[in-house]
A and B are shown apart, each in its own frame.
Chain A
Amino acid sequence: GQSLEQPSEVTAVEGAIVQINCTYQTSGFYGLSWYQQHDGGAPTFLSYNALDGLEETGRFSSFLSRSDSYGYLLLQELQMKDSASYFCAVRRQAGTALIFGKGTTLSVSS
């Protein structure tokens, strides 16, 4: 089977840096994706790592270590609008469907 583990909650202050970890167990690996979901809204795609290393997109970066079955999302210069839930996801071995983690709720305070 496939499963993903991520912390349920993270808190931080504006301007800080926060890291949201994700560990996964898969029978085949096709990359790790990250999604953001604001309260009441739909998830939106943030980033994707197929290979080891760091991918940077503005204030957000995502890291992957395939040997450790581990990845993280790094959010820098936190803003109040970054308060949201963040999900990691892996593609199923067969087909195109993604399996999502249970999500990490990030609360940013001033």
Chain B
Amino acid sequence: SQTIHQWPATLVQPVGSPLSLECTVEGTSNPNLYWYRQAAGRGLQLLFYSVGIGQISSEVPQNLSASRPQDRQFILSSKKLLLSDSGFYLCAWSHFGTTRAYEQYFGPGTRLTVT
């Protein structure tokens, strides 16, 4: 069966510090991978998605970046965090291709507080 891991679960970082969140998927090959951010009590904002190694589509042209160094690894980074980066970060995957893209599987999330 497939499993998605995200860490850390919670993170408190000062403004201006770097960020690295990691997500890995097990039990499937060539997944589509996604990073979302959810502000408190709000909807899901798509940040990045990837259909393959090294292929990143960005939805948010701010101080965040994403990388996919391996097939089942997705990393979200920032060089300098802003207060507005606080939120609940969710990684998700869907099966390769578009046929089942409607069904995404989410990791447990990272709750980031920038102070």
Contact = CB atoms under 8 A, between A and B. Distances in A.
Interface in A57-110: 87, 89, 91, 95-103
Interface in B26-72: 32, 34, 42-44, 46, 49, 51, 57, 59
A95 B90 contact: no
Interface of A: 30-31, 33, 35, 41-45, 48, 50, 87, 89, 91, 95-103
B98 A96 contact: yes
A97 B49 contact: yes
Contacts of A44: 106
B111 to A, nearest CB: 8
Given A91-B101, A97-B46, A98-B101, 12 more contacts: A30-B98, A30-B102, A42-B107, A42-B108, A44-B106, A89-B102, A91-B102, A96-B32, A96-B97, A97-B59, A100-B43, A102-B42
A42 B106 contact: yes
Contact of A43 (B44, B59, B102): B44
A24 to B, nearest CB: 13
B94 A96 contact: yes
A2 to B, nearest CB: 11
Contacts of B51: 95-96
A49 to B, nearest CB: 9
6 contacts: A30-B101, A30-B102, A43-B90, A45-B105, A91-B102, A100-B43
Given A30-B102, A91-B101, A103 B90 contact: no
A98 B90 contact: no
Given A42-B108, A87-B44, A97-B46, A33 B57 contact: no
4 nearest A-B residue pairs (beta carbon):
A96-B101, A102-B43, A42-B106, A100-B44
Given A91-B98, A102-B42, A97 B106 contact: no
B43 A95 contact: no
